[in-house]
């Protein structure tokens, strides 16, 4: 920031999370700003098509930004009787979440209608201050660090009003709060437009990537090839000269597990679903069994075999074993036989048709997963070996180019998001003078 964009003088806020603030600003605890309430009485089953506006804690994470005048959910009159009413200006914070980094995500309700908040929503009803400014401030880095320190729990993270009350934020004069909030509304709207454009580009590139894979593994590379009906619902038509064979005859799924606590397995690479990037086939993290503290049995994977996650198949997590290694019991080591090559098999199971069919089968149980018996009953296309190699080479080239474009687009989106966050933090802590 240039010197002229700053206030004339600063003073120590006496908070390690905030730093210096403009001399004429105060630093206040949230307890000094308003009263606290807790949402209650609304479950997903209570949501209706029409009725009274309402908000669930998950909506704060996924549906809203810093403030909103409209709520997308509706509840009936009977449900509303047991729910917590909210009014315009109320600040809503998530009381539970998956990570400490996101806990306490904040949105201000600015609607004219009386509305209602469900459970796991902490509510701050300000007595003083501008609600828009306070919401920006509570979503800033300095406030988020404080919320993270107050969070409790591991698998599910919680934060309580008793802890939120002690969070400290910079507090400028009311007119400045209003001017800062208006300035941030304008600036973040511009940035959000740019982020949305980058996000759309990312989605288009991802769609193109999937289309390249799916078409190549099911139709081949010859544009005018004669086709025949495969007789397989997910597969449709395939080139006339291709075979269609049963999974169990052309793919072997390894059986039997080894003890990862003994040599030579202790020092082997151990691949789990979280080490694989969704849909890409890429291994993004390497850890040995020892580094992971592995105890239960694991599968031994030959170098070059396909490793496929059987849980939550919608995520499409599969990769090629880069060396002889282990994989978790939540995955299957697969090897192509009788004309099926492993690289082609990888792209085939990452294709839209195969993945969507597996997902349909996996959703018949409480925890989505596909078992080996189900896989062995599938039918797969089987091009000649040389054609499989040509298809794999084509997909590798095409996805490499698309991935390069994706990396640039994702990087650009992340930089915009970081800039947006830093702009909010700088404005609400007085590190830049915007009015």
- Phi, psi at residue 367, to the nearest 5°? -100, 110
pLDDT at 2: 44
Contact criterion met (CB below 8 Å) for 107 and 60? yes
Of the candidates 88, 55, 58, the one whose C-alpha atom is nearest the C-alpha of residue 72 is 55
* pLDDT under 70: residue ranges of the chain: 1-4, 363-366
For every residue of 209-241, DSSP letters joined together read HHHHHHHHHHH-S-TT--EEE-S-TTT-EEETT
User: Alpha-carbon Rg of the chain, whole angstroms?
Assistant: 27
CATH 3.60.10.10 fits 221-382, yes or no: no
Q: What's the helix, strand, coil split of the chain in %, to 5? A: 40, 25, 35
* CATH architecture, domain defined by 26-171: Alpha-Beta Complex (3.90)
Q: How far apart are CA 395 and CA 408, in angstroms?
A: 20
Q: Which pair of structure tokens corresponds to residue 400?
A: 């490499």
Alpha helices per DSSP H over 92-173: 131-138, 141-150, 161-164
Strands 379-382 and 270-271: unpaired
Contact criterion met (CB below 8 Å) for 108 and 92? yes
Q: How far apart are CA 130 and CA 114, in angstroms?
A: 19
Contact criterion met (CB below 8 Å) for 300 and 326? yes
Burial annotation 87-99 (CB, 10 A radius, 16+ → b, else e): eebbbbbbbbbee
Contact criterion met (CB below 8 Å) for 236 and 230? yes
- Cα atoms in the Cβ-side hemisphere of radius 13 Å centred on 261: 5
CA geometry: angle 57, 77, 91, nearest 5 deg: 30
Contact criterion met (CB below 8 Å) for 310 and 371? yes
For every residue of 259-271, DSSP letters joined together read -TTSTTGGGSBEE
Q: How far apart are CA 170 and CA 30, in angstroms?
A: 10
Strands 115-117 and 47-55: parallel
Ramachandran region of residue 73, left (φ > 0), alpha (ψ -120 to 50) or beta? beta
Burial annotation 302-324 (CB, 10 A radius, 16+ → b, else e): eeebbbbbbbbbebbbbbbbeee
- Cα atoms in the Cβ-side hemisphere of radius 13 Å centred on 244: 19
pLDDT at 435: 86
Cβ count near 213 (within 10 Å): 23
pLDDT at 3: 43
Q: How far apart are CA 54 and CA 2, in angstroms?
A: 44
Q: Which residues have a Cβ under 8 Å from the Cβ of 332 and sit 6 or more positions away?
A: 253, 254, 299, 307, 308, 310, 372, 375
Tens of pLDDT along 172-198?
A: 999 999 999 999 999 999 999 999 999
Tell me the domain boundaries of the chain. Answer: 26-171, 221-382
Contact criterion met (CB below 8 Å) for 225 and 239? yes
Q: Which residues have a Cβ under 8 Å from the Cβ of 249 and sit 6 or more positions away?
A: 337, 338
Q: How far apart are CA 271 and CA 288, in angstroms?
A: 8
Q: Which pair of structure tokens corresponds to residue 381?
A: 């296309």
pLDDT at 238: 98
pTM for the structure as a whole: 0.86
Quick check: do 26-171 and 221-382 share a fold?
yes
Cβ count near 272 (within 10 Å): 20
Tens of pLDDT along 363-405?
A: 666 678 899 999 999 999 999 999 999 999 999 999 999 999 9
pLDDT at 1: 45
Contact criterion met (CB below 8 Å) for 326 and 258? yes
């Amino acid at each position: 920031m240039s010197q002229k964009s700053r206030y004339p003088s600063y003073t120590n806020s006496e908070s390690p999370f905030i730093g210096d603030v403009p001399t004429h600003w105060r630093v206040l605890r949230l307890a000094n700003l308003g009263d606290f309430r807790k949402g209650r009485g609304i479950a997903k089953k209570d949501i209706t098509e029409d009725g009274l506006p309402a908000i669930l804690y998950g909506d704060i994470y996924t549906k809203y930004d810093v403030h909103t005048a409209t709520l997308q959910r509706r509840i009936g009159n009977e449900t509303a009787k047991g729910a917590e009413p909210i009014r315009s200006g109320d600040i809503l914070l998530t009381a539970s979440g998956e990570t400490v980094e996101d806990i306490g995500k904040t949105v201000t309700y600015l609607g004219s209608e009386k509305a209602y908040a469900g459970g796991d929503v902490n509510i701050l009803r300000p007595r003083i201050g501008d609600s828009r400014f306070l919401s920006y401030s509570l979503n800033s880095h300095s406030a988020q660090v404080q919320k993270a320190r107050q969070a409790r729990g591991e698998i599910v993270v919680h934060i309580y009003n008793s802890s939120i009350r002690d969070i400290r934020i910079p507090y400028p004069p009311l007119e400045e709060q209003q001017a800062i909030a208006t300035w941030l509304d304008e600036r973040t709207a511009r940035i959000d437009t740019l982020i949305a454009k980058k996000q759309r580009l990312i989605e288009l590139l991802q769609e193109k990537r999937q289309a390249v894979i799916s078409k190549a593994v099911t139709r081949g590379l010859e544009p005018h090839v004669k086709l025949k009906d495969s007789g397989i619902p997910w597969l449709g038509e395939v080139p006339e000269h291709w075979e269609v064979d049963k999974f169990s005859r052309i793919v072997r799924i390894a059986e039997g597990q080894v003890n990862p606590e003994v040599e030579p397995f202790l020092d082997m690479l151990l691949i789990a679903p979280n080490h694989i990037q969704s849909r890409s086939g890429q291994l993004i993290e390497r850890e040995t069994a020892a580094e992971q503290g592995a105890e239960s049995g694991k599968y031994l994977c030959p170098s070059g075999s396909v490793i496929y996650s059987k849980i939550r198949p919608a995520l499409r997590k599969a990769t090629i074993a880069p060396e002889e290694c282990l994989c978790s019991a939540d995955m299957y080591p697969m090897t192509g036989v009788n004309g099926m090559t492993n690289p082609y098999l990888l792209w085939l199971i990452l294709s839209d048709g195969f993945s969507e069919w597996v997902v349909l089968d996996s959703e018949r149980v409480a925890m989505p997963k596909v078992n080996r018996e189900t896989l062995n009953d599938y039918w797969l296309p089987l091009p000649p070996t040389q054609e499989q190699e040509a298809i794999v080479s084509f997909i590798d080239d095409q996805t490499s180019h698309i991935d390069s474009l994706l990396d640039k687009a994702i990087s650009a989106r992340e930089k915009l998001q970081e800039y947006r966050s830093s702009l909010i933090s700088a404005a609400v802590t007085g590190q830049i003078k915007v009015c």
